[in-house]
Structure 1
Amino acid sequence: MSVAVPNLKPLTEDPERYEEVFYKAFFKVSQTDVLLEKLNQFFDEKVMDLLTGVFGREEVVSLLGVGVGEGHTEFHFLKSLQTHYSSMCNIAVDPNEGMLQTFKTRVDTLNSDGKSSISCHWINGSLSQFLTDSPMAKTKYNLISAIHSLFYAGDFETTFTQLASMLKDKGVTVIVCKKGKYRIDKKINKRCTV
């Protein structure tokens, strides 16, 4: 069903507007790609050193991903950790079952290469459901990630405090929020920053 809007031409009939829309959309997509690439690089250069400096190769490394979507970043984390650890436990929480399934399919490829064993728990639901319903919410994790997902959680400070309480001593939390949305740098310096 289409709705007629006065003075609005289809983009195909307005080349200047088409170009403007295309470049704005392309710019946003390219910014996201650059951010994720920088995040992956930061993980490989800094976070891996922190984790491998504290947790030995023989330890089962546990990861909690909050709002993983299709798991692009978390997949990179697992792949990088796989080079050092022979056993990992990955818990992925996301309310979108289709996206979670995409991530699951990708992680299955890591298990099939024989490098390490990754046990996975796929939680189809919100973070609040996970925190109240899952016994895994009482587990301590080596790494907790929330990439562009905490703004869905509601009360940011309470959510951050809950996640921080689930972190092992000297574990790492990787949180990415849209610039200006939250000022987490002020709130977490007393806890753990990288």
Structure 2
Amino acid sequence: SLRNPLASIRSSAELAQAFDEGPAQRNINDIISQVDRMSQWIRQLLQSLRPLNDEAVPVDLPQVLQESLQSFAVPLARSGVTLDLRPLPPVQVLGQPALLAQIFNSLIANALEAMENGGRLRIEVVKRDRRSLTLRLADTGKGMSEQQQRLAFRPFFSTKQGGLGVGLVLVKRIMERFGGSVRLSSSQGHGTRVSLGFRLARL
């Protein structure tokens, strides 16, 4: 019900953009940008509400992470964020490739938002045993207050201006769906650390 009117608004704006080269161009670009933003919110909302019934399969963790990082290579460089990626062991974890990619995309996007003036994103394995592996993503961004941390995994809570607040909720749901876990620690002015606990696939 929302997608069709948004698509119509965007198409009309693109048509106006093609015929108008005057001062209205900026307003037209704003319309297109805001429509795209709303469309992204709708996608996030629908995904957060969708039942996670996918069966767990072995997933190459380093490969999924690398693909997500490659998709963010330009935004990371543009924002002045240095990537500190420690070597990952060649392991397979239980999950679904697309859903694990969604986790990394959400967390990397959050880190970028927190480091508007540049910084460092460090990704490393901090714990591993025969059955599990813990991967930590740590940024040097603005961090979160204690209250923000308590509310971080509640639906529709967001520290971003205009944020929908389903990103971390979805991360938690996906991790728990496949028997994993997610923990967050942060302090204002000192960045945020997100630890993802994965179950290792038996080879």
- Give the TM bin, normalised by the shorter chain: under 0.3
Q: TM-score, normalization: structure 2?
A: 0.27
Q: TM-score, normalization: structure 1?
A: 0.28
